[in-house]
A and B are shown apart, each in its own frame.
Chain A
Amino acid sequence: MSTILIAIIVLAVLAAVFGALLGFASVKFHVEGNPIVDQVNDLLPQTQCGQCGYPGCKPYAEAIADGDKINKCPPGGESTIQALADLLGVEPEPLDAEHGAEKDVPLVAVIREDECIGCTKCIQACPVDAILGSAKQMHTVIADECTGCDLCVEPCPVDCIDMVPVTTDKSNWYWQAPTSGVELIATDRRSVPAEGHA
């Protein structure tokens, strides 16, 4: 009888101790916010273009953490979807076409400066403050800060903003992958175009 009692008492004491420990830890090491949001946000391209239907990358990250689809980010494209799928442990899906298509080249906004009337509308539209200028003064895009989201194109009353591909120079050029027929076997050879000479 006394052994049962001792066992019960010991278990009760242990439960109380560990419960207190856990309670203390949950208060002491309380994590603010949802850490998954930041992880998702880090994977998103941060163009802040809003093509996903959310006002920026962070809001979309929050939506993904709440269970939204991961295939709504055209600037990120397939690689971002893949990365998100890996992070969240879900099946990657093809890019949702209704949010736009993935661009094959990075773009940058350029203001045709003689045509700019200095209305500041594009400045207000730019999510990353990459446009410089003031009222009735010519505006210009800081190319290094531009994410190519093209949110500034639509508000321009004189249509003087172009989205041009980022120029390639020695600093961002790199070798193409070899294109020569590497495969010997006929079946392998057929798969060459499908692989897109990776």
Chain B
Amino acid sequence: MSQLIQLFDFDGGIHPPENKHQSNHRPIRKAPLPDELVLPLHQHIGAPSKPVVSTGDTVLKGQIIAEPEGFVSAPLHAPTSGIVKALELRQVPHASGLSELCIVIEPDGKDTWIERQSLRSELGLSDADALPADEVVERIRNCGIAGLGGAGFPTAVKLHTGDHNIDTLILNGAECEPYITADDMLMREHATEVIRGAVILQGVLTAQRCLIGVEDNKPEAIEALKRAVSDNPEANGVLVVTIPTKYPSGGEKQLIQILTGKEVPSGGIPASLGIVCQNVATAAAIADAVDHGLPLISRITTVTGDAVRDKGNWEVLFGTPVSHLLNLSGYRAQKRERVVMGGPMMGFALPTTELPVVKTTNCLLAPTEKELPTNNMAMACIRCGMCADACPADLLPQQLYWFSKAQELDKAEQHNLFDCIECGACSYVCPSEIPLVQYYRHSKGAIREERAAAEKAEHARIRYEARIERQEREKAEKEAKRKARAEATAKAQDAKKAAAAKKAEAPAADPSSSNKPSDKPAAAPSVAAAGKPDPNSLERLKKKLDSAESRLEKARQRLSEAEAEGSEKVPAIREALEAQQAKALEAKAAYEAARNPQPESPAPVGTKPDPNSLERLKKKWDSAESRLEKAKQRLSEAEAEGSEKVDAIREAFETQKAKAAETKLAYESALNPAPVQQATSPEPVAEATPKPDPQSLERLKKKWDSAESRLEKAKQRLSEAEEAGSDKVEAIREALEAQQAKAIETKAAYEAALNPKPAPTEASEADKAPEINNKPDPNSPERLKKKWDSAESRLEKAKQRLSEAEAAGSDKVEAIREAMLAQQAKAAETKAAYEAACAPSLSSFTETEESQPETADVDPELEKLKRKVLAQKDRVEKARERLNMAREEGLGSVEALERALNKQIEKLADLEAQTSSAGEA
């Protein structure tokens, strides 16, 4: 077949000794399996593939062991069946000599294939159907095919030509580099596959023609290809073109120029000219992949050089160690061992022969020193210009050399350093034997690094600026928020001030109106006194109350939600709720207190018991009742659920109950003294009624309230601590008792202030008396009653605790029992005191004013003793009871109890004697 196309030529180029005859006389041999196969994950250009097997896995021949990571990447297949021995860092065949992640496979020797089928049968197409292009490209990608010419660019990526309209497919069979005969042998032995691959590629690219460029030093290959073309009926546009031998005609850009006369623009790709170029070996691999489902697991590699006896081509599995191949070829290690991967022009010396053959290994050259002398005698550049003549890319190698040497990278770049194909023609012709290509490679790397650094700096700058901007924005936002808050508070304050001013005006008008109907002289000052806290506080208090109530509502909601969810925070929320409740109550009380005095103020002398306290107490009672109700509910729920917290809840319930009783009592006691007071204060003098001094009263109330709330909190804390089984329980309980005592005291003080003793009011000189009476009388029946109540409640609690402890079989039973007994005694004591106090106070009413102080003088001693006697009697009773119980049950403690009873009886007798003697006195 004669040539039908016009050939062109490229500038430069060289004609080094071909040295191909040593290796192209023997047919391709199949290399036997080595002991292990080392497969680097990065055998192609682009991103390294990602391993999908792990150590110990059994793999079959052709199984995918690593998948592509990203678009420009390729998968990796097991070259033979065996076991994955390791996934580790191994030195890879690269000029850097660096180590990379490799999959090491130990062959099992069986070479068992995975199931494989042709694309046509996979798609269920008949022979007449055309193969869909995207399926073919997908198959090519899945079979891990990368350019076998030397660069290893993933073929599938190259076939994605985008918008470019491809009219010419070029198959590169030039193989211009000396020594290498791998493609030559492939074209001779596998011409059919090459042509079949050309047809498939043509179909994918929809190229009208396919040019197979082969140098004229391979006549056998050309003959075989031409035969294959004529044998293949589909190979219509396929043309085998013989090109003159010249290095580097096998360069992609050079071959394109030879065959089409077109030059690939600097920085451009052939596709922009409508051309795609592939290696002949790649085409053969594509044919195998598409027609037989064979993944890329082996290649043909030339082993040549004078250091090997048996030169020739081998079909080698990827991962086969170079040393294995060299041994097969009869390698005789030289004094200065040097094995080059690739050809003498573009290859690189391997640091060791224990490196695997990879997808781009087309040749292993083991030259002798004589054959290929090492160059270490570089001399000065004599500016002969031979390099410029030899350069196939029309560059100025000499200039590039100077710039590279002087690190003038920008100038080197301006002289199109990146168009250098690193063919080595300039180095080859250099009479000074300067390693020019190495300079260019270094400069290219340095420029790339600089670019990367600049890119990174730009990226860092953007990130830095974004961060600064973000920080400023956040700051501004914070500032704006702060300002808004400040403004809101200022506005609220202004509004308050305005409201206060308005209210101040209103009372100014108010007294006049209220003065008219009431012509009492005391009205004005009292109104003024009452009016002070009233107008501005009423509104505010109402608001406060509202907000407190709404917050309370919310808190309740939260609590119920938390309980529904079974959240851990339930106790905390409950605590918050209780605090809220107390607050709300307080607010309400304050509001009512502020509101109610108004009707009262026109008649400050009114003998009614302070309605405000009455009201409040009622409220309190109500709320206590409601809380009690709730507590009961909770308790029953807990019992129903069999919760662990039942005990704690029961305890809380009991305290609640006690409290409810207390409040009820307080209410009733507040209600009852009223008539007494009314009856005993017949002559109220307006000026002489400083006893319900509103300010001190208010203060006392507040004190009481706060004491109550603190008490509440303390109780809460105690129950929590008990629940948690904390070792602080005792301390907390102590604090609670102290708190309780304090609360009672403040309450008593308040009540005493509110309801002064009838006796002092009777004394007409009320100048000094009220002051004295304002002090809480420690022996007042009121107080004693309180004390008694609280003692009772505590006793109740103690009993509860005891029974619980007994039920639980705790070893603290004894201690608790003791505490309970002490409590019992105390309760009895307080009861006695109360009763004792009640009797004399009643009698004091009937007695004359003069006799009262005297009786009061005698009373305390006797009273105390009497109380003690009563308490002691009680104790004796109890001791007896216990003894009886012990006897009944036949316990071992009978004797001890007997002894205790005797002691108690003795003490009682003693006390009685004392009392009688005191009574006589």
Contacts and interface: CB of A to CB of B under 8 A. Distances in A.
A57 B459 CA distance: 13
A175 B438 contact: yes
A156 to B, nearest CB: 19
B463 A145 contact: yes
Given A45-B453, A169-B98, A184-B379, A174 B463 contact: no
Interface string A144-182: 010100000000000000000000111011111110111
A45 B464 contact: no
A170 B96 contact: yes
Nearest to B447: A174
A176 B442 contact: yes
Contacts of A74: none
A8 to B, nearest CB: 53
Q: Which 4 interchain pairs have the tightest Cβ spacing?
A: A174-B445, A46-B457, A175-B441, A46-B460
Contacts of A168: 96, 98
A198 B42 CA distance: 31
Contact of A47 (B404, B458, B460, B466): B460
Contacts of B407: 198
A139 B248 CA distance: 53
Contact of B449 (A127, A169, A174): A174
Contacts of B438: 175, 177-178
A128 interface: yes
The interface centre, meaning the residue of B94, B444, B456, B457 with most chain A CB atoms within 10 A of its CB, is: B457
A51 interface: no
Given A172-B452, A173-B98, A174-B448, A182 B464 contact: no
B464 A128 contact: yes
B405 interface: yes
The interface centre, meaning the residue of A58, A168, A180, A183 with most chain B CB atoms within 10 A of its CB, is: A180
Given A129-B467, A173-B96, A175-B95, A184 B457 contact: no
Contacts, number: 96
Given A127-B467, A129-B467, A181 B445 contact: no
Given A41-B461, A46-B460, A170 B442 contact: no
Interface in B88-111: 92, 94-96, 98, 100
Contacts of A172: 449, 452
A173 B449 CA distance: 9
Contacts of A180: 375-378, 435
Interface residues of B, number: 42
B467 A178 contact: no
B439 interface: yes
B435 A178 contact: yes
Contacts of A175: 95, 438, 441-442, 445
Interface of B: 42, 92, 94-96, 98, 100, 375-380, 404-407, 434-435, 438-439, 441-442, 444-446, 448-449, 452-453, 456-461, 463-468
Interface residues of A, number: 33
19 contacts: A46-B464, A56-B468, A58-B461, A127-B467, A129-B467, A168-B96, A170-B92, A173-B96, A173-B445, A174-B441, A174-B448, A175-B445, A177-B404, A178-B378, A178-B438, A178-B442, A182-B378, A183-B380, A198-B405
Contacts of A127: 464, 467
Contacts of B468: 56
A6 interface: no
Contacts of A44: 457
Given A127-B467, A178-B378, A198-B405, A169 B100 contact: yes
B255 to A, nearest CB: 26
Q: Is the interface of B mostly helix, strand, loop or mixed?
A: helix
Interface string A41-78: 10011111000000011100000000000000000000
Nearest to B468: A56
Interface of A: 41, 44-48, 56-58, 127-130, 145, 147, 168-170, 172-178, 180-185, 188, 198
Contacts of A46: 456-458, 460-461, 464
Contact of B461 (A57, A145, A183): A57
Contacts of A145: 459-460, 463
B439 A178 contact: yes
Nearest to B461: A46
Contacts of B434: 178, 182
B442 A174 contact: yes
Given A45-B453, A178-B378, A170 B98 contact: yes
B463 A129 contact: yes
Nearest to B47: A171
B117 to A, nearest CB: 35
A175 B440 CA distance: 9
Nearest to A195: B405
Contacts of A174: 441-442, 444-446, 448-449
Given A46-B457, A174-B448, A176-B442, 10 more contacts: A47-B457, A48-B460, A56-B468, A129-B467, A145-B459, A147-B460, A169-B100, A174-B442, A177-B438, A178-B442
B842 to A, nearest CB: 69
Given A170-B100, A184-B379, A185-B380, A128 B435 contact: no
A114 B42 CA distance: 31
A61 B49 CA distance: 43
A169 B456 CA distance: 17
A170 B464 contact: no
A48 B378 CA distance: 44
B441 A48 contact: no
A110 to B, nearest CB: 17
Nearest to B450: A79
A184 B444 CA distance: 26
Contacts of B464: 46, 48, 56-58, 127-128
A175 B96 CA distance: 7
Contacts of B404: 177
Given A172-B449, A183-B380, A177 B460 contact: no
A170 B466 CA distance: 32
Contacts of A58: 461, 464-465
The interface centre, meaning the residue of A44, A57, A175 with most chain B CB atoms within 10 A of its CB, is: A175
B349 to A, nearest CB: 13
A178 B456 CA distance: 28
A176 B348 CA distance: 13
Contacts of B463: 128-130, 145
A24 B379 CA distance: 64
The interface centre, meaning the residue of B92, B95, B96, B453 with most chain A CB atoms within 10 A of its CB, is: B96
Contacts of A173: 96, 98, 445
Contacts of B452: 172
Contacts of B458: 46
A182 to B, nearest CB: 5
